[in-house]
Each structure stands twice: as structure tokens, then as C-alpha cells.
Amino acid sequence: MMGAAIVIAGASLGAFVRDDGDGKSERDPLPGLAWRLNTPHPWIVPDDRANPLAVADKLAARAASIDRRAQLRAFEGAPPVIPHSIQDLNVQSCRACHAEGLRAGDKISRMVSHTYLPSCTQCHVEATGFLLDANAIPPNEFRGLRSQGMGGTRAWAGAPPVVPHTFFMRTNCVSCHGEFGYDGWRPDHLSRSNCAQCHVPAAEFEQLSPTFGIADMAEGFAPRDGP
């Protein structure tokens, strides 16, 4: 399959039709309500987005995305730094690109993962500030927590995986798992819009859970490599 695939919204809601240019049409399995709500141009889906990767490719892409994501963070859970310059006195301009996410050439601007908070620069700072001498980075021996990134545990093959991170400040799943998210992190069922119906965060990641920080699984849940 070559070139950009064009997905055209059909006349009736939810009836998406893909035209690969060969005259044949088929129902597209991907776009759903969440997709359309979160994507500025839901009718256009590039080819590489529209086709779920083969499993082996997906695992490789997933691992690569973990590394890419980590590059902008001191540790898992730290707010990412901003990999571009910003207008200091116009923080509201963040929303122009990050409210819904967009793609410009080979750059992706991800959608905000949390509910809208107006003071963006409270947590996010430029990776390269004005007047930075590249050779003057202070040596620091901190080694941050890293995400294993290989998905959550499943009770059995085919069970929906548990979310391997907190939902706090990550309520907008499509930020990372949607159109402008990370390669290898998109599910094959983006048409489903209520993620939390099937996927719950593991209690060890949720501060307000009494089992916060305790990784042991409760009785009755088999570990991944268990019998």
C-alpha cells in the first residue's frame, strides 16, 4: 500500500469509507467518535496511521517510543520539557497546537494529556533556553525512574491489559494513544471511545489507592508468566 490513504467521512455518522485509489472501497475499522472529537481533520488519515502495525513491528515501535518519550523527561512522571522555543509572554499560544494536536511535516504536536490548565509554563519549560551555552550543562548524577513501557498485566490472554500508569494528569488517552500519539501505542480499536470501560490503572500507580506503591498482585490474579 503506497502513498497517503484518504479516508472520507460518509454521509451517515460513523460510516467511514476508505478509498485506496484502486476503485475498491471498504469500511474503515479505525475512526470512531473519540477519534473524530480529538482530531481536527478526521476525514484524512495517513496511511501509516490507518493500518495497525504487525505485532513484531508494533513491539519495536513501542520500545522506540518509550525512548523518544524519555528524552524529554527527567524521569517517568516528570512533565516533559518543551523541544522548541516559546513566546514567553504569550503562553496561551500553546493551545494553538496542543489543544487538539497536529502534524506539520515530520513534527508532531501532541494533544495535552490532562484537562486544560491555563498556566502551561508552570510545569513545562524550554529544553533550550535563551542564552544557553551548550557546553555548560551542569553535571548531575540523578538517575530517573524509567517506564518499562511494555504494557500492563493481563489476567489471561485476550483480557484487556491493565493501564501501566496513573490516570492522574493523564485523563486524555488519545494524547499518547491517538492520532498524534506515539508509534506503537495506538490500539487497533480506536473506534471505542470510553477507554476506562475496559482498562483500569493498576492500583500501585494511583496515590489515592491504599495499595499505592505496592506492586504485588492481589490473590486471584495470575502473573503474566504464571501457570
List contacts with other proteins (CB under 8 A): 74-79, 81, 88-92, 115-119, 121-133, 136-145, 168-169, 207-208, 212-213, 215
Task: In angstroms, give the least distance from the CB of 21 to other proteins.
Answer: 44
Cα separations in angstroms, 189 against 59, 113, 115, 172, 173: 17, 19, 23, 16, 13
CA 186 to chain centre: 7
Task: In angstroms, give the least distance from the CB of 184 to other proteins.
Answer: 23
Parallel, antiparallel, or unpaired: how do β-strands 6-9 and 107-109 relate?
A: unpaired
Q: Which is nearer to other proteins, 56 or 134 (CB)?
A: 134
Task: In angstroms, give the least distance from the CB of 212 to other proteins.
Answer: 6
Q: Which is nearer to other proteins, 97 or 169 (CB)?
A: 169
Q: Are 172 and 111 in contact (CB under 8 A)?
A: yes
Q: Which is nearer to other proteins, 20 or 204 (CB)?
A: 204
Task: In angstroms, give the least distance from the CB of 219 to other proteins.
Answer: 19
Distance (Å, rounded) from C-alpha 41 to C-alpha 39?
A: 6
- 19's CB contacts (< 8 A; 6+ apart) are 6, 8, 25
The secondary structure element, H or E, covering residue 19 is: strand 16-19
Q: Which is nearer to other proteins, 54 or 208 (CB)?
A: 208
Task: In angstroms, give the least distance from the CB of 37 to other proteins.
Answer: 18
Neighbours of 209 (CB within 10 A): 14
Q: Which is nearer to other proteins, 51 or 209 (CB)?
A: 209
